[in-house]
Amino acid sequence: MDMKGQYLSIEYVMFFAIGIAMVIAVYFIFINISTSLREPAIKYQLEKTGQLISGTIVNVFEASNSTDSLILYNLSIPTSLSGCIYSIEIKEKMLLNCSDTPSLGTSFVLYGINIKSENIIYSSKGFLELKAEKGVVELK
């Protein structure tokens, strides 16, 4: 039996298999890098968005109390952070949590301001409605 021409076929199959293995390895490396970078980025973005919201609440509260008036304010917020829709919840503190990864979140002190909210607010609508009157700030 003569096998002179078959080594090329075997060589091509091996090169193809090595190429596929390399593509798969690179894919999984990038997925792991993406995952490891996404969580700290979301946490940082949640902190900055929370600072924006709490700072605006303080400003609206102070303006309402100093002028003894009703203030209605719409605050634009990002609809998502690194692909994560987040929730805003008022308890003893203001809590911001990523909806698809609840362990990613942050909390903010409300500085003794009487803040109320009927429900959990989701970022998907792109804005917060703030209503300040008589020492109370309401989020919708």
pLDDT at 8: 82
- Looking up tokens 């809590």 gives 95
**From CA 79, how far away is CA 99, in angstroms rounded?**
12
pLDDT at 86: 96
Q: From first to last of its 140 residues, what are the pLDDT tens digits of the chain?
A: 556 678 888 899 999 999 999 999 999 999 999 888 988 999 999 999 999 999 999 999 999 999 999 999 999 999 999 889 999 999 889 999 999 888 889 999 988 899 999 899 999 999 999 999 999 999 99
- pTM for the model stands at 0.79
Q: Classify 117 in phi/psi space as left (phi over 0), alpha (psi -120 to 50) or beta.
A: beta
Show the tokens assigned to 121.
């607010």
Residue 22: C-alpha distances to residues 5, 9, 16, 28 (Å): 27, 20, 10, 10
pLDDT at 110: 86
pLDDT at 2: 56
Q: Which stretches does DSSP call E strand in the chain?
A: 71-76, 86-90, 94-98, 105-108, 114-117, 121-122, 127-133, 136-139
